[in-house]
Amino acid sequence: MILTPQILARIVAIAVLGVLLQLSFFSQVELFHVSPDVLPALVVCLALLGGSTTGAVCGFAIGLLVDCLLVQALGVSSLVLLGVGWGAGLARERLEIHGLLTPALLCGGLTLAAELGFAAIELLLGVDAPVSTLIARDILLKSVYAFILAWPVYLGVRRALRPALVEEPRVRRRREPTVLGA
């Protein structure tokens, strides 16, 4: 991704819009008594398009904005989303995986990791909250929701950042002509 001031402004607008949508809309929507968490999926999509540094910076910034707006312990969301962004960007840079399911699988898997990270940090900080087995169901459902929401989020972010993307040429494999009878 080529970072220019216009592209940075687009990334900031995407991040702020994502946080506002999460806090005002997605937190109010409940399917099976669980609201989807779109922010890890957004960070994964930004990291898949921009790399590990872009993913880590966007994850940290989005997490810090969420922590500030929710008036909770600063750094919890920042730390977890920084790790999610860095992991997704690292997967983009190190692994040669190009497929239709790549964004969705990474969004689902890293949302699962993010929710487990949120739970672990909250328990380590000593937050007094009732813990039950329903937490496992909520975490799994949030990762399934992230898997489903990955395609529209990825396509929207890709469309918004299209001028900055460097497309890799597709390698076409030529078939060798076959000789009949040989």
Is the separation of the CB atoms in 142 and 37 below 8 Å?
yes
Hey, which residues does 31 pair with through a beta bridge? 34
Higher pLDDT pick, 180 / 75: 75
Distance, in Å, from the CA atom of 116 to the CA atom of 53, rounded to the nearest integer, reads: 23
Find the mean pLDDT for residues 162-173: 68
Q: What pTM value is reported for the model?
A: 0.85
Distance, in Å, from the CA atom of 115 to the CA atom of 117, rounded to the nearest integer, reads: 5
Residue 49 has pLDDT above 70, yes or no: yes
The predicted structure's pLDDT at residue 171? 59
Find the mean pLDDT for residues 26-52: 90
Residue 112 has pLDDT above 80, yes or no: yes
Q: What torsion, rounded to 10 degrees, do the Cα atoms 98, 103, 108, 114 define?
A: 110
Hey, which residues does 34 pair with through a beta bridge? 31
The predicted structure's pLDDT at residue 172? 63
Domain 5-164 has CATH 1.10.287: no
